[in-house]
Amino acid sequence: MTGKVSDLQTVYPFGGGATSGDPRAKDKTIVGGKGANLAEMADIGLPVPPGFTITTEECVRYLNEGGEFPAELRRAVGEAVGHIERSVGKRFGDANDPLLVSVRSGARVSMPGMMDTVLNLGLNDETVEGLAKTSGDARFAWDSYRRFIQMYSDVVLGLDHGLFEEALEIAKEDKGYYADTEMEAEDWQALVAEYRRIAEGELGRPFPQTVTEQLWGAIAAVFDSWDSDRAKVYRRLNDIPAGWGTAVNVQAMVFGNMGDTSATGVAFTRDPATGERAYYGEWLVNAQGEDVVAGIRTPQYLTRTARDRAGAKPLSMEEAMPDAYGELARVFDLLEGHYRDMQDIEFTVERGKLWMLQTRTGKRTAKAALKMAVDMAGEGLIDEKTAILRIDPMALDQLLHPTLDPEAPRDVLTTGLPASPGAASGRIVLDADTAETWAGRGEKVILVRVETSPEDIHGMHAAQGILTARGGMTSHAAVVARGMGRCCVSGASAVSIDLKARTLRIAGRDLAEGDVLTLDGSTGQVMAGEVATIEPELAGDFGTLMEWADRHRRMGVRTNAETPVDCRMAVSFGAEGIGLCRTEHMFFDASRISAVRQMILAEDEAGRRKALALLLPEQRADFAEIFCTMAGRPCTIRLLDPPLHEFLPQGDAEFEELAEATGFGADHLKRRAAELHEFNPMLGHRGCRLGITYPEIYEMQARAIFEAACDVAADGEAPVPEVMIPLVSSKRELELMRALVDRTAEAVFTERSARIDYLVGTMIELPRAALMAGEIAEEATFFSFGTNDLTQTTLGVSRDDAGRFLGAYVDKGVFARDPFVSIDIDGVGELVEIAVERGRGTRSDIKLGICGEHGGDPASIAFCEKVGLDYVSASPYRVPIARLAAAQAALRAGAGDA
Ligand code: ADP
Ligand code: MG
Ligand code: MG
């Protein structure tokens, strides 16, 4: 019954009493997610139509070997078809009582709508008659056959599906029908003849009548779909390796289109948008699978409560088919208990009997993920650690962005389904390519479509939000938008689009491409113009999960911030200190840029000191405000880092302005500016090199820090400044700068008759600094890894210029990921490890942190945990992400040790 090639099976049967002790039969990497879960459902006794799965390994082999099927595979598939035949009691290709199958893709992870499925395979001019007889329903038989020809022609033969749709429209028009449901048996039969003519005309040969040819054609199409353009785009967006391949599931058909006691549907065991513990789903009477998702007919609600809430007329399944619904509800509970997570389910009811066609862990919004994790821990379904590990840290990003201000006025045009939460404003675009182009030039866009299809993926990704006129909560648009974290309003039927004129009408209001629209994915509201937003907060389940995360993490989490607003926000997000305060940001402020420029353009030390004296009170006030906001939490303040010419005037007007302020002539100033020009400023006169050449600059900054600290300590909690010297590569540099800082501190303490604790340390951002860390640690009480510059200097890649080639480098596999987003563990990571080891060798209690962009990237945070850093520092909005990622890293490290 099972096919063996050498010692590894290529085909695994499921259902119909087939069980396998082979762990590969339920291994997602071998049989794909769909296959593994079908086998699992069958094993726990759920009603699953029997079938078999061809392994992903066979797909990879087929694609590598130029589309050939080995004889062993043909034999194994033949035997597995026999398994289905025996279980169902029908034979494939039998003219009297034919077995029909579906051929379904199923990769290791679900790729919604990315690959193609063929239903009703096994129908031909003879078997259709048999099906009509055995079912006693000729209309059903011919409808199934025309669906098969349509799908097979599209998916396997690559014919334009528009041709078939057009023929159907004409047939309906001729008869004066409005809906497909009005078509009679003879109408479908006539249409089948027309379909076959179309197929033959396009192909130059008849539509395949041999059922085994149909089967192998479909298997090949599923394998080939792994390398289709849309699958490739999806893989790239989701970091799915090309080498995984897809499995193929061949399964006995069950029919939801056998009249009014039959139905098909999709459901979630909890609400995937809100996380609420309530069954959530959509179904259609007398329909086949694709009908629900494709948005051809508007689906009905599954439960009575959902229908009441929406005020919808058509009966819920709970009301219309109470027995099948009761059975389904029992299955929901069983599956959730079994998988201990929310399930996304496909089912079909054939003449009153429930069949399960798919289950998988359901995609959900970040909000729902948090609620489900916290609820399930409360229900005892999972423990606290599992709850923490279950949330994708990056998904929190969805919740850390502004939402629409409930007080702001809204010009509501219409309300659709709240398919994916969040708020978005942007300009209307009517197709995916336009979305991508406009977004590429920095515009915020809202993609508006009748409904979306897998071809629209790139546009959905580029858009801030998606609005569709058709389709329910489980439509393509809704599922994909939730997965991407894009806000989406679906099924807004008051939207009508005129693609030719590039205009649209929403409930009587005329709009055009380019007009601004706002979507509220949490309520389904569609509004004209832009609506004001408010800042998010960590309340409810989010707050609870963050508390749990804090209990399990080892590393501290700080923030990179320099304005009181950012500091306050970061603290509200749980930041435990500042990991990087960039003092130069304060220099750009309009009120002081003139003094900064006087300082830079001064001819000598006296001139510089004069200008610095103007800056001192300003810097002191800045630091005092930050220290107050941070209320005793540690603050790492980096002394001036960028090359001075970054602050110079741009253009004649600014030079004239400066000339007026300083009394120097504009020409003189321009000459000084030209003298400061550098060929490679990133490697030029910057960082501690400024402090070494112009000690008075760092001295002023140190004075501002200590005076502010003393002031704040006098009437509140004493701050703990950590003075950080940038771009150090040798011990001597730090020795000089540290002496300067210590001297300044002592002077201030004497003047104020006060004393506060402080640290002096350095950034490790040059490869030489990492290598010399042992010596440098003699002068430093802390290191902070400046991994942005460390990446630039280690790779010899300028971040600002990398745009031209980085894409190609990632595509061609030179870099697995953008090294400025996720730390290059092999190269930059090794330097970090060396510095940690040598630094600790000299000073065992040296404080170690990271302040590059990587401090907010979960994969990099896991690396920081592994090398034993004390804290990570991230931008304010990334602080919660870092807290969760740090907890997960600690939990995983702990699990690894055990
Ligand atoms: P997708 O991954 O796009 O959901 P599926 O393979 O799951 O593709 O199938 C598409 C639709 O066809 C689903 O609604 C599914 O439930 C339905 N379907 C698949 N196989 C069968 C079958 N054997 N009998 C009835 N319906 C099926
Ligand atoms: Mg499916
Ligand atoms: Mg730097």
Please give the mean pLDDT across all residues of the chain: 92
Please report the atom of ligand 1 found closest to the CA of residue 111.
2
Residue 895 banded pLDDT, cuts 50, 70, 90: low
Report which protein residue has its CA nearest ligand 1's atom 8: 117
Which homologous superfamily does the CATH classification assign to the domain defined by 401-534? Phosphohistidine domain (3.50.30.10)
Residue 114 banded pLDDT, cuts 50, 70, 90: low
pLDDT at 3: 44
Between residues 589 and 754, the one the model is more confident about:
754
In the 8-state DSSP scheme, what is residue 799? G
- Side-chain-side CA neighbours of 434 within 13 Å: the count stands at 14
**DSSP secondary structure, 356-424, as one string:** EEEEEEPP--HHHHHHHHHHHHHHTSS-HHHHHHHS-GGGGGGGSS-EE-TTS---EEEE-EEEE-SEE
* Percent of the chain's residues with pLDDT above 90: 73
Q: Does position 297 have pLDDT exceeding 80, yes or no? A: no
pTM of the model as a whole: 0.82
Q: Could you tell me which CATH number the domain at 125-209 has?
A: 1.20.80.30
**Which architecture characterizes domain 540-584+628-639+689-897 according to CATH?**
Alpha-Beta Barrel (3.20)
pLDDT tens digits, residue range 597-639? 889 888 899 999 999 999 999 999 999 999 999 999 999 999 9
Residue 504: in which H helix or E strand, if any?
Answer: strand 503-506
Find the mean pLDDT for residues 726-731. 98
Of 12-26, 213-227, 853-867, least confident by mean pLDDT is: 12-26
Q: How far is the CA of 268 from the centre of ligand 2 (A)?
A: 13
Q: Does position 480 have pLDDT exceeding 50, yes or no? A: yes
Pocket test for ligand 1, best of 102, 225, 350, 453 (most atoms within 8 A of CB): 102
Residue 563 banded pLDDT, cuts 50, 70, 90: confident
pLDDT at 233: 84
Pocket of ligand 1 (CB under 6 A): 49, 102, 104, 113, 117, 119, 251-254, 289-290, 346, 348, 357-358
Residues designated as active site: 476, 851
Find the mean pLDDT for residues 694-722. 95
Report which protein residue has its CA nearest ligand 1's atom 12: 289
Residue 672 banded pLDDT, cuts 50, 70, 90: confident
Report domain extents, the chain.
1-123+210-253, 125-209, 263-361, 401-534, 540-584+628-639+689-897
Q: Which ligand is nearest to the CA of 789?
A: 3
Q: Does position 484 have pLDDT exceeding 80, yes or no? A: no
Torsion sign over Cα 458, 459, 464, 468:
negative
pLDDT at 420: 85
Q: Which ligand is nearest to the CA of 769?
A: 3
pLDDT at 898: 36
Q: Does position 776 have pLDDT exceeding 80, yes or no? A: yes
- Side-chain-side CA neighbours of 875 within 13 Å: the count stands at 7
Residue 675 banded pLDDT, cuts 50, 70, 90: confident
Between residues 254 and 595, the one the model is more confident about:
254
Residue 897 banded pLDDT, cuts 50, 70, 90: very low
Q: Does position 171 have pLDDT exceeding 50, yes or no? A: yes
Find the mean pLDDT for residues 468-473. 85
Nearest C-alpha neighbor of 840 from the set 749, 778, 760: 778
Sequence-distant (6+) residues with CB within 8 A of 746 are none
In the 8-state DSSP scheme, what is residue 537? -
Q: How far is CA 357 from CA 37, 102, 547, 578, 819, in A?
A: 10, 11, 39, 52, 42
Confirm if 728 and 747 have CB atoms less than 8 A apart.
no
pLDDT tens digits, residue range 639-664? 999 998 888 887 888 888 888 877 88
Report which protein residue has its CA nearest ligand 1's atom 23: 253
Three-state SS across 434-482? HHHHHHHCCCCEEEEECCCCHHHHHHHHHCCEEEECCCCCCCHHHHHHH
CATH class of 263-361: alpha beta
pLDDT at 295: 62
Report which protein residue has its CA nearest ligand 1's atom 26: 289
Q: How far is the CA of 677 from the centre of ligand 2 (A)?
A: 61
Q: Does the 1-123+210-253 domain belong in CATH 3.30.1490.20?
A: yes
Identify residues whose C-beta is under 5 A from ligand 3, the ion: 765, 786, 789
Q: Which ligand is nearest to the CA of 291?
A: 1
- Side-chain-side CA neighbours of 598 within 13 Å: the count stands at 22
Q: Residue 606 CB: number of other CB atoms within 10 A?
A: 9
- d(C-alpha 294, C-alpha 288), whole Å: 11
* Percent of the chain's residues with pLDDT above 70: 98
Find the mean pLDDT for residues 331-336. 97
